[in-house]
Amino acid sequence: MKVKISFKDALIIVDVQNDFLPGGALPVPHGDEIIPVLNEYIELFVECGAPVFATRDWHPEDHFSFKENGGIWQKHCVRGTKGAEIPLELRLPLDTFFINKGDRPELEAYSGFQGTLLNDLLKERGVKRVFIGGLATDYCVKHTVLGALNLGYTTFFLSDASKGVDLNPGDSERAIAEMLSRGAISITLDDLK
Ligand code: VGL
Ligand code: ZN
């Protein structure tokens, strides 16, 4: 499939943060391998004058999703810590829109649209199509993709720039099947070149 990017499209990079990379608190296996691919997507979007968004899991210390607070996850992406930072290897443009989510103790936000201004910022720019990749396929990427579909965006899933955690074997595959069945379009870099 050939897709031509215009300045009305948007790239949304989900949760590429140190804690989700090998060596981090909640590592996604091979999560680092998507960074060079995402850098190529970034270049393409910047060339077309299309906006780049980067979501960040941005939890307070006492977030209820942490095991120590009764949740299911190892403590991760505490705002202001090294683990919550986006690695410098990801070459984000200076005018990247950063979207912090999960920043209230009692609310989970797997979707970049949940409790954020992401939808408003996209609408303000007249964006109709979004291109979403990052970490993790079976959690925040999936929920961000489903959120975009619910809001009426034509939504592309960047299959070569996403990795899943697969807590249960097959989670990522099931997540992809669900995204596609809801109307997402799976693409790779080659489709944009
Ligand atoms: C995520 C688990 C907990 C994600 C965030 O970014 O996919 N996963 N918090
Ligand atoms: Zn989280």
Establish whether 77 is a catalytic residue: no
- What residues line ligand 1, using a CB cutoff of 6 Å? 15, 20, 57, 73, 135-136, 139-140
Q: What is the pLDDT of residues 157-172, one digit of tens each?
A: 999 999 999 999 999 9
Specify the pTM: 0.98
> What is the C-alpha separation between 58 and 149, in angstroms, rounded?
23
Q: What is the pLDDT of residues 126-152, one digit of tens each?
A: 999 999 999 999 999 999 999 999 999
Amino acid at 179: M
> What is the C-alpha separation between 66 and 72, in angstroms, rounded?
6
Task: Kindly list the structural domains of the chain, giving each domain's residue range(s) and its CATH number in brackets, ordered by start.
Answer: 9-191 (3.40.50.850)
- CB-based contacts of 173, cutoff 8 Å, min separation 6: none
